Amino acid sequence: MISRADVENTAKLSRLEFSKEELDQIQVDMNSVISYMEILNKVNTSKVGDLVREIGEMREDEICPSVDPEELLKNAPKKEGTAFVVPKVID
Amino acid sequence: MDYEVVIGLETHIEQNTKTKMFCSCKNEFGGAPNTNCCEVCTAMPGALPVINRQAVYNTIKAGLATNCEISKTFYFDRKGYFYPDLAKAYQISQLYVPICKNGKVEFEVNGKQYAIRLNRIHLEEDAGKLVHGLFGETLVDFNRGGVPLMEIVTEPDFRSVEQVMAYLDTIKNIFKAIGVSECRMERGQLRCDVNVSLRPFGSPNFGTRTEMKNLNSFKAIERAIKFEISRQTKILNSGGKIVQETLRWDDVVGQNYPMRSKEDSQDYRYFPDPDLLPITITDEEIKKIKNELPVLPAQLKSEYKKKYGFSDYDATQLSKNIEISKFFEECVKAGIEPREASNWIQGEISNILNEQVGEEIVIKLVPINFAKLIGLYKAGEISQASARQVLRKIWDSNEDPGEIVEKQGLKALSDDTEIRKIVEEIISKNPNAVNDYKSGNKKALAFFVGQTMKATQGKANAGIVNKIIIELLGE
């Protein structure tokens, strides 16, 4: 079960803000997703082997041209020179 | 009350691969902001990461050099956190199955041997760089974002600051020797998080620990730990409790400040990255990497002891830094007698290096040229004092030592008659010292040698000077 606190915490971690009504609806939706997954959990898979096939590929360490900074920053709401500008953050 | 210090370290070391961890952008320090970036390392929608094989091999190499077990199958996880230095809002890292685990690093403090257990070495991507502007804004540069970064995590095995410093020196030298990083701290290529706690001596339980983040010089690490030990001691002695928190070291003020409060404690929501499939490494690959491992500082040390008959101390001094051991070996190859090379490296060369700015060891001296200089000195053509003087001249100019000796008139004075004349004059001017000598004061001899050297600007052949003084005073 997804509690109201779970929903609020997830929203906070995602830096998203919701109205009370939205939070109500999200809690219902999340619980329905979880209960749908519960159906799959009921299937007996004790005789089914590992489905993960380890086929990860790696690339060689060779340089390819990077993207032109002008192009890269084209959609940035704010920039200074070739740097992205964001509101001040301090840790 | 006296407390036992318990310290654990997380050390981040940036790799020197040609390209980044998950894209083919150049891995390079500096440069104008965002000039080594692409869709992947700036997290454009739909861009997919691809693993850099060399970065994986380098991490395996690091694990083999620190006695780790290598995971033949491993994968990457997402570590979620929201901060502008991380465009994806998660860092690709490894939590569940790191590439290397259960290692061991050995080192010496004051002649005593220690071994620190490594919990793991995992591979991840570095974050971008934030520059805080003057006008209440933050500038973001992703050139560093995505650079392959190894995190070396120790068990809480350290019991003193000295052990921490010796360990860091050791791993820095190992990682440089195996060629996976230059470990330049002023460039952020080696950074350290330190966990410190105290407990009464003999207590089996650990005390509450605090964490100090992103210490970026050896000096800062040492000062920060010492400060934290005394801060915690004061709190415990006055009956207080240590709060588990993350601290920021201010190197200018020389104090620790709390960074994050506990209620904001991080929830990273780690889970396997679905963009990246598990990787399997074969035994052949591991064997090949093992064969590529160079002789490590510790092995080099015992080699020097055996091969050249060096003392433990001399062998350590010559083997611990790759720059020094390389130079020493080139000197021997250039024909300098090993013990002579060792004396010079630990003498005048070490003086010159200590005068240089920064923590890096840079030797520009050309071994063949240095061998020429030593040749002149050994042949008695120049005195030791002159040799030191010439060494400083050829240190980064690579001028011919013979020419400098000629030009500056440093040729040793080994003409018997000339030295005899100078010594006679000094003796006649210092009757008191002569009496001292005759009444058995050995220091008087040193006085006469010193005066003769002064009169000849250090150019006199020391052997001849000694002989003549003893001869003249002996009568």
pLDDT at position B206: 94
H or E segment at A11? helix A4-13
d(CA B342, CA B349): 10
What value does the mean pLDDT take over residues B41-45? Answer: 95
How close are the terminal C-alpha atoms of chain B, in Å? Answer: 68
Question: Is B47 in CB contact (< 8 Å) with chain A?
Answer: no
Give the per-residue pLDDT at B262: 46
Tens digit of each residue's pLDDT (9 = 90 or more) over B114-146: 999 999 999 999 999 999 877 788 999 999 999
Q: Which CATH architecture has domain A1-44?
A: Orthogonal Bundle (1.10)
CB nearest to B279's CB, from A56, A64, A72: A56
Placement of tokens 């015992």 in the chain = B302
**pLDDT for the residue numbered B77:** 97
Residues 6 or more apart from A32 whose CB is under 8 A from it?
none
Which residues of chain B neighbour A69 with C-beta distances below 8 Å?
32-35, 37
Q: Greater confidence, B469 or A82?
A: A82
Q: How close does chain A come to B76, measured CA to CA in Å?
A: 11
Give the residue with greater pLDDT, B469 vs B224.
B224
Q: What is the DSSP string of B31-78?
A: -STTSS--TTTTT-TT----EEHHHHHHHHHHHHHTTPEEPSEE--EE
pLDDT at residue A61, as a whole number: 98
Interface ipTM: 0.83
B137 interaction partners in chain A (CB closer than 8 Å): 78, 80, 85-88
With an 8 Å Cβ cutoff, is B280 touching chain A? yes
B278 touches A: beta carbon within 8 Å: yes
Residue-wise pLDDT for B387-424, tens only, equals 898 899 899 888 888 888 888 877 777 677 778 888 88
- Cα end-to-end distance, chain A, whole Å: 34
Least confident of B36-40, B76-80, B387-391: B387-391
pLDDT on residue B462: 78
Return the percent helix, strand and coil in chain A, to nearest 5.
40, 10, 50
Subunit contact B34:A85, Cβ cutoff 8 A: no
Interface of B with A in 293-352 (CB under 8 A): none
| Residues A86, B280: C-beta atoms closer than 8 Å | no
Per the CB < 8 A criterion, the answer to whether B248 and B256 are in contact is: yes
DSSP B357-411: SSS-------HHHHHHHHHHHHTTSS-HHHHHHHHHHHTTT---HHHHHHHTT--
* CA–CA–CA angle A79, A82, A84 (5° rounding): 40
User: Domain map of chain B by residue range?
Assistant: 3-286, 293-407, 416-473
Q: What is the pLDDT of residue B260?
A: 62
The answer to whether domain B416-473 has CATH 3.30.1050.10 is no
Confidence at residue A52, expressed as pLDDT on a 0 to 100 scale: 62
Give the CA distances from residue B348 to residues A5, B132, B390, in Å, rounded to whole numbers and listed in that order: 68, 43, 11
CA distances from A90 to B79, B82, B248, B259, B464 (A): 20, 13, 12, 10, 70
Report B:55-94 residues touching A (Cβ under 8 A).
55-56, 73, 75, 80, 82-84
DSSP state of A47: T
Give the closest of B18, B19, B39 to A67, CB-based: B39
pLDDT tens-digit map of B350-369: 999 988 877 778 898 999 99
